[in-house]
Structure 1
């Protein structure tokens, strides 16, 4: 029985698998419809863009077409863009033009998506020029795609200029601009644009709301976050619910976040990660690890984000055994990368397993500044200051890595523990002169600690007084420690007066002052310090350590 054109189109419309598609392709050949451009367009589109399709088969069919339509070119470009193969999409776009075909308003959004995926601003600008020359600049979706492309390439100024030229009634254009600000860490502007959108009377969709909530989370803007939450309908989906939980969690409202989390009828990995990550961020590691165990019991598989949060909680809680179990899981599943490796190093360093951290560090194919910094800080924390400084020198020989302000905290800490005053001063001075890094309070604190430990108390006091920022209690405390070690009672009096202005809540400062006064035989001051502690209800902070017991890993 001969199959007609109409039947072929109907079969292609109902096609569900590549097996059926190949049978239809065979029918097209036997029915001499293999050169029919409409049927071929539908066939290529299924292969390139259906979830059940096969892009390689689409490419083979394409090679047999003498004069493919613009629709077919668009299908192949779209398929490559949607399958995260931007290089192939851009290659097809170039071939299309070389063979004399003019792109239409459907072509440009797919090509610009590929440019956005590649973060290729220069190529995107060439496409922009082509859009202008071919008269498609007034096309709304081409303009929105340009806004997205420039935002993906971190050029928010160009995105803003394009946004000003298009109609303001379209929710997609507003959402694209808000998303661009969010992805470029400009949360304040994202919130402002969302509020402006509301004033313009444009109804946000769920994607808009998710981005607005993410912006509030980034900006720690709890007030606006609550307002956005009130705009969300009760039957919101799991993605929007996860964004709400994440917003409250990152803004520090952990109780509200947990209540919402517990009431959710469905929870995906994203919402579990939001809650576990928040507990880790606010150093509530016990709750983070407990929730991770609940996540495992619920049958969910942890992803990279989960593992990073759990490793951070292990580092803070001293849960070495669980951290080793996570390490084994990472090795088994092959999901390791520089970020995961750095987190593992940090976990081992903080739990005292420095050697394991070194082994992971040496095994990293590419070491970024965070990896180098984590290893330097890990060594410095465990009294291996000279080794940390040697590692820093090796790091400086890597031309692809530049130390940042965190690196110098580790370096100065290493100098302090090793008692290397001259080297510490050299590194401190090089921050501004060589690397253009303005020292923060933490850097000054490290230097005061270094000078105080080494007995250079006059220099330490001079540095504190010359600081361009107001010294905090930690900096004065470092100087006071030096006074006790080196028995400088006169300086201790002056430093003590500065510290007491902060009205310290812990008993450590009063104990330290009491010890200094006792060494000097000033018993009346000793009694006064102890009386203040009694009246404030303060006691000595007892030494403690985390002990991990009977914790198992089921992943």
Structure 2
């Protein structure tokens, strides 16, 4: 920039400053070069009496790629107010700015302008319009634009796939990728990354293997050579295998990476934690620290889960202390993860302290606290916490919350009358639940029936279970045991016949 400023000063002292072409080059370099300066570009622009459309576009493009995309929209408005008509170069930049600030209303206004100026069938304008809609979460409008694109190029297909991935519609994303292959449009590395992400989202290992094979067939295999290594594509492949449970193969690929980013480390650590490989998760976490990477929110969510799984209180406390030194300590998800970790390990006092300090408590935070109290014998506190949760109209208990409450109800270690009252409260909770109770809910209630030998309630649960899809044998064995203890052998046979009728195998230990 120093040399360019000197050149600009020389242009001012000569008549060259009045020449549109070199002036355009100066603005373009300042606005769009990596070594440029958008603020200096704006100061040069302000000195131009009659900027050309090219110069307007350069400024709009520069702002759309900057930290201030709003200014791109401001310049777009100003350009039209001064009598300039946008062209097919203008629209992609302002649409990009609209998508970056998630401003679909403004994007629709630009769409109307595109139609009025006759650029609706322009490939650049239409693909940018598609990208804007899918980025702003309007897949319906995006599909309409996609259908009108005169030529479905790789950019259009990739935008559509990315839109479905961001929406969480992974199967649709994979279907679109297959359609793209059918139309003989060759995917690029960005397309493949998005499709691999879709496979990872729904744990579809078969589709993921197929996409990986296409990566290799197209010559994009990042593990083939260290030259021009695509760390983003490599990370997407590793993440797909890791999320699909193929942890050893994912780790082999991870070990082959000549360079790694934080996402790659988090993918492996997160997958280890998700599949119960807690020691491996923590070992890799320490390797990451040695490699000089700074953990982020995703890292801490995984390692606190691993500490909870191992019951590693001292290590969990060290990680908690590390978190407090960062700027994410107040994050609700981190706070909830810490509550969950301390509660599962058995340090309910620390869990309660963190829980009470949370500025906003979502259903997960309440549920973690309730279950932590319930499983460690603090049933009354768990029930009181649930009552407090019900006082917050913004929080709706989910199925896991009710399982925790039923666990608390079935483990109240008080006198017989109170125990039966707790079981009745559990029964009332199930009936009042806003969602249809699943097999886990009925299982938790049956656990209370077994503890308190309540055969009548077990009968009611059995009639409700017959309406559910056949699942594991555990609840049926539990039901059979309740009847056996009560000497109701006819009902025992009925429970076993129900298992046979529903083709549920009896476990060898039952």
Shorter-normalised TM-score: what interval?
0.7 to 0.9
Q: Name the CA distance, whole Å, in 2 between partners of 1:361 and 1:40.
A: 60
CA contact (8 A) 1:178 1:193 kept: yes
CA contact (8 A) 1:84 1:117 kept: no
**How far off is 1:93 after superposition?**
3.3
Q: Name the CA distance, whole Å, in 2 between partners of 1:463 and 1:448.
A: 7
Aligned pair in 2 of structure 1 residues 65, 222: CA closer, same or farther (>3 Å)? same
User: How well do the aligned residues superpose, as a CA RMSD in angstroms?
Assistant: 3.1
Do structure 1's residue 377 and structure 2's residue 360 form an aligned pair?
Answer: no
Q: Name the CA distance, whole Å, in 2 between partners of 1:369 and 1:277.
A: 22
**Residue of structure 2 in register with 1:428 after alignment:** 430
Aligned pair in 2 of structure 1 residues 268, 494: CA closer, same or farther (>3 Å)? same
Q: Name the CA distance, whole Å, in 1 between partners of 2:480 and 2:317.
A: 39
Do structure 1's residue 90 and structure 2's residue 61 form an aligned pair?
Answer: no
Q: Which residue of 82, 87, 90 corresponds with 1:104?
A: 87
**How far off is 1:219 after superposition?**
2.7
Further displaced range: 243-252 or 443-452: 443-452
Q: Which residue of 295, 298, 306 corresponds with 1:313?
A: 306
CA offsets 1:212-250 (integer angstroms, 9 cap, x no match): 222222232222222222222334622222222222222
Structure 1: which 5+ residue stretches go unaligned? 1-16, 510-555
**How far off is 1:153 after superposition?**
2.8
Q: Name the CA distance, whole Å, in 1 between partners of 2:282 and 2:497.
A: 40
Aligned pairs (5 A) from 1:280-291: 280-291=273-284
Query: What count of residue pairs does the alignment treat as equivalent?
Result: 485
SS of the residue corresponding to residue 213 of structure 1 reads helix
Aligned pairs (5 A) from 1:30-45: 30-31=13-14, 38-45=21-28
**Residue of structure 1 in register with 2:323 after alignment:** 330
CA contact (8 A) 1:150 1:158 kept: yes
**Residue of structure 2 in register with 1:260 after alignment:** 253
Structure 2: which 5+ residue stretches go unaligned? 413-418
**Residue of structure 2 in register with 1:138 after alignment:** 121
Do structure 1's residue 402 and structure 2's residue 396 form an aligned pair?
Answer: yes
CA offsets 1:382-404 (integer angstroms, 9 cap, x no match): 33333334334444444444333
SS of the residue corresponding to residue 333 of structure 1 reads coil
**Residue of structure 2 in register with 1:226 after alignment:** 209
Aligned pair in 2 of structure 1 residues 426, 36: CA closer, same or farther (>3 Å)? farther
* Higher relative contact order structure (alpha carbons within 8 Å, sequence separation ≥ 6): 1
Q: Name the CA distance, whole Å, in 2 between partners of 1:398 and 1:33.
A: 69
CA offsets 1:308-336 (integer angstroms, 9 cap, x no match): 22222112122222222222222222134
CA offsets 1:336-391 (integer angstroms, 9 cap, x no match): 42222222222122112222223333333333333333333333333333333433
**How far off is 1:70 after superposition?**
3.7
Aligned pair in 2 of structure 1 residues 50, 379: CA closer, same or farther (>3 Å)? farther
Aligned pair in 2 of structure 1 residues 478, 308: CA closer, same or farther (>3 Å)? same
SS of the residue corresponding to residue 433 of structure 2 reads helix
CA contact (8 A) 2:480 2:496 kept: no
Aligned pairs (5 A) from 1:17-36: 17=1, 19-31=2-14
SS of the residue corresponding to residue 51 of structure 1 reads coil
Q: TM-score, normalised by structure 2?
A: 0.84
Aligned pair in 2 of structure 1 residues 67, 482: CA closer, same or farther (>3 Å)? farther
